[in-house]
């Protein structure tokens, strides 16, 4: 599909996009309209038209609960998925 553009895309990435677009039980477009329905302002800003989403959030007094991986990435925090969901503390030599 993307080969004509010289782009190699892993089928796993396409699967993630398909999961995101359908996980609510219906089709959600992955475009500005679909992003505007997202509850996460930071997730919206990570897509495109950052200033539009930021202005709307500031004017509306919206807060972000920071539950989406995109929101965490925007602010430089570890995403709470995969290895970001585990908190391990390994005792160092001499610690109990």
What residue ranges do the domains of the chain occupy?
1-30, 38-96
In the structure encoding, which two tokens stand for residue 21, read together? 């677009």
Record the pTM: 0.50
pLDDT attached to residue 5: 87
CATH topology for the 38-96 domain: DNA polymerase; domain 1 (1.10.150)
Residue 96 pLDDT grade (very low, low, confident, very high; cuts 50, 70, 90): low
Fill in the DSSP letter of residue 6.
Answer: T
Fill in the DSSP letter of residue 30.
Answer: S
Maximum average pLDDT range among 11-20, 44-53, 84-93:
11-20
The C-alpha atoms of residue 38 and residue 87 are separated, in whole angstroms, by: 28
């Amino acid at each position: 599909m993307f080969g004509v553009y010289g782009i190699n895309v892993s089928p796993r990435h396409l699967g993630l996009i398909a999961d995101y677009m359908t996980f609510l039980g219906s089709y959600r477009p992955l475009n500005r309209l679909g992003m505007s329905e997202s509850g996460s302002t930071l997730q919206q800003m990570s897509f495109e038209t950052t200033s539009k989403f930021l202005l709307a959030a500031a004017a509306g007094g919206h807060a972000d609960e920071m539950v989406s991986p995109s929101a965490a990435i925007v602010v430089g925090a570890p995403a709470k998925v995969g290895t970001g969901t585990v908190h391990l503390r390994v005792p160092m030599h001499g610690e109990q």
